[in-house]
Amino acid sequence: MEWSSGWYVYSLFGNTGLTVGLNDDGITNYCTWNSTEGNIKGRDVAQAMMNIGAHPGFISTDDAGFLAGVQNGTIIAGVNGVWNAVAIEEVWGNNFGAAKLPCYTCAGKQVQMASFSGYKLIGVNAYSKHREWAVKLAEWITNEENQELRFQMRGQGPSNINAAASKEVQDSPAISALLAQSEFSCLQRIGGNFWDPVTTFTANILAGNPSGESIQQQLDTMVEDIIAP
């Protein structure tokens, strides 16, 4: 699980009552991850992260490191994206499986891990000098045959209705897990100032807080940077 990315770190804060998101201006963020009130406080999540990070069975690594670990046998399970399902299944074969994110222990409670959800939108420019060709390209990308091919090669869910209804897609462990997790997901609407402060915060948490600075102060600093204009 890549803790250097806010995409993954959100999963630990998302179902705790602590919030983060985009303000109405469409640019700046709001964030309560440093809250000292409520059943679960920001420092409770940070402590849970330190407990997880200290476990010998845990490693924080990026996509390349995760796939390398799968291939050399040092990683036997992990949190990763559906975009790597095909590559992982090629290594694990019939042993490949997928599930929604698990619960983790925080402040003495079992908390279901959350996730960001999103999609890629490709538009056709109506003012293009080559609009007809742009439309043809869009139709080609989204047709049933190519959406099936995209699923087979990359493991990602088809946007074409007919392709999505195929037995192969419906039986996909990764797609089934993604659908199960959707109940606990939130649309990713985050301003640009979110990512770097989270990376800085989690780097110290993963290292076991060698600076000795109070966790609350680190949370406060992270949130100040996240909500900065």
Each residue of 23-50: pLDDT tens digit? 999 999 999 999 999 999 999 999 999 9
Domains of the chain, earliest start first: 6-120+185-226 (3.40.190.10)
Of residues 156 and 43, the one with the higher pLDDT is: 43
Instruction: Calculate mean pLDDT across residues 1-13.
Output: 96
Confidence of residue 159 (pLDDT cuts 50, 70, 90): confident
pLDDT of 109 > 90? The answer is yes
pLDDT at 15: 96
Instruction: Calculate mean pLDDT across residues 87-97.
Output: 95
pLDDT of 108 > 90? The answer is yes
- Phi/psi class of residue 11: alpha, beta or left (left: φ > 0; alpha: ψ in -120 to 50)? alpha
pLDDT at 45: 98
Spatial distance between the Cα atoms of 9 and 48, rounded to a whole number of angstroms:
12
pLDDT of 211 > 90? The answer is no
Q: Residue 12 in contact with residue 104, Cβ under 8 Å?
A: yes
Spatial distance between the Cα atoms of 184 and 104, rounded to a whole number of angstroms:
14
pLDDT of 120 > 80? The answer is no
Percent of the chain with pLDDT over 70: 100
pLDDT in tens, 45-74: 999 999 999 999 999 999 999 999 999 999
- Phi/psi class of residue 108: alpha, beta or left (left: φ > 0; alpha: ψ in -120 to 50)? left
In three state form, how does the secondary structure of 53-99 look? Answer: HHCCCCCCCCHHHHHHHHHHCCCCCCCCCHHHHHHHHHHHHHHCCCC
Sequence letter at residue 125: N
